[in-house]
Chain A
């Protein structure tokens, strides 16, 4: 019988994850806490210097609806962007000395690299909390109907006792053409019953349609979610906050019940919407993942080059290959992780099937090694990870470590003439 072994570190992580996943608090408890914190006397005094700013913001924060939209937009970022970044649609036009791809795809790829490099998500969505955007808000249904770029998809099923309590339309636009934020429109309808319980349906459209062209195969990072299927649409139910998220052909749906609601009822509401699946909208990509080196070697279309310099005591701890396949080509992402002991490790990422990101690399410090060159990114994050990038044989390499001198030696071992 084949015996598979799990590293103690992973076993500990799994045990802690399972232990804590049971630990939840009712939303009311969180709401009470937030209320206490925000109305704490000391807070009021100490933050008086922000009074003016707050008074400006007060106008926009009077409606709890706006906060829901901000949170929904943020959740959208958490959910959709990692998928869109990870599984973007390679829309190549031709292949010549590497790859030439259209601008949109190139932008997404650059964002993906920025995501690695900055160690944070650089993509921002235009919303009320984003200072580079302006927000137009309408609450009157007649005004909404006149201004809305799409009509609200009202559910045919509403739980007994609930009726429409309020409506709001938010149109978020860039302040300046050069700003990065993607423009967005949120249409929110709040339903309330006689006990004061509410649920919200938010329907959002985002400027970059590729954000919606994602198919999720793993839970959104950082959220406790379970996958659901609704009339052929894939989505996620966030278990600890009664939030249902899914995508249709043209919009992102978020059904949330801040005071709690049975999951099955939320699903029933969702199923009664007109949101329909359009198979032609979704990319025809397939995703594969491998961890065994013998399998990885068989799958990649290039010879895997390992670093010739490895700091003393380090060993190859794990490897991972993600392949995104579609009709126009394949994207390969290989990760080689080297470890010495807990917390002491470096990783080498090798990308195949992407263009050399010349514009992006201009932002970093270039160092020459013979006829080759590499670029250094010292992390801006306190305690963050530094990175070195280089391009070799149509492959893009990124090395991650804390110690720049060590990384230089690793990079130079790849680039130095034999």
Chain B
């Protein structure tokens, strides 16, 4: 939470994820060994992924989606709120936005803005239910958001049948595809790659910057972090914690609404049964990995996406089930949580020692000198 540049602190911060990745590497290798799968070939295949332009595009695109999800979770985390419901929030948001977007016909930038606004508003309201339940009835947001996920699934299934059209060439159903004015073109960011990067990546970068500014530079952000650090101290300092809970849930939900946007606006153009699900849970893992830090989350999202993408060729090239990647992701998250806690404790102890040391070696204060001469 401190602002100054301090190389020792940065090194310590990087130590935890580095340890976690090494640990995950070892565990995964042991699993491969136990299953009798080729260890060296597997790692070679996974590493090769990073040198293929097409794969890089895929990684960046998934990471963009993960980034929003993790950011939404992180807003809650910074206040000790566990928004497990990002999943239901974004799906309900993107479904409604896809449907509304297919009904209207307005000029391009406005059309996209309306879609994004609808998604954010619906997701925010859905998350807000959990916030209101918490402050008025004391319902744990963990329980209510999980339940709201189920309700969202049911509602989407129900309403999709009402508004859906068959997706051509399959037995899938989805909302009417968005007209051209509601689509966002991609960017050719990766040289030699046949795939374009979602245009929405720009919004991801802006969201990261906005998150950082909001939390670190504003009064609201200070109140939010103070509540996360110590609710009792926040109350004594004049923070209206109930209000903060509702606002944070709304904010977290609004960001969750962005999760489905890159895919909807840049690739799928409609909400169908095949629309990516479960991204909210990935967000929880990535927020943990990135320590709720906007840059940390970006790195975490890229790493996660990398592992996801590298799972595909494993089956084909070396005959190893792609689930090995899921195991690795799981081990990374578990060990990173442990490592962060160890580093955190070490840092507090280290700082106390450093303060004690610097104080004893410092020259006496005027008062001490006075006492000594008295």
Question: Bound pair: A and B?
Answer: no
* Chain A residues within CB distance 8 Å of chain B: none
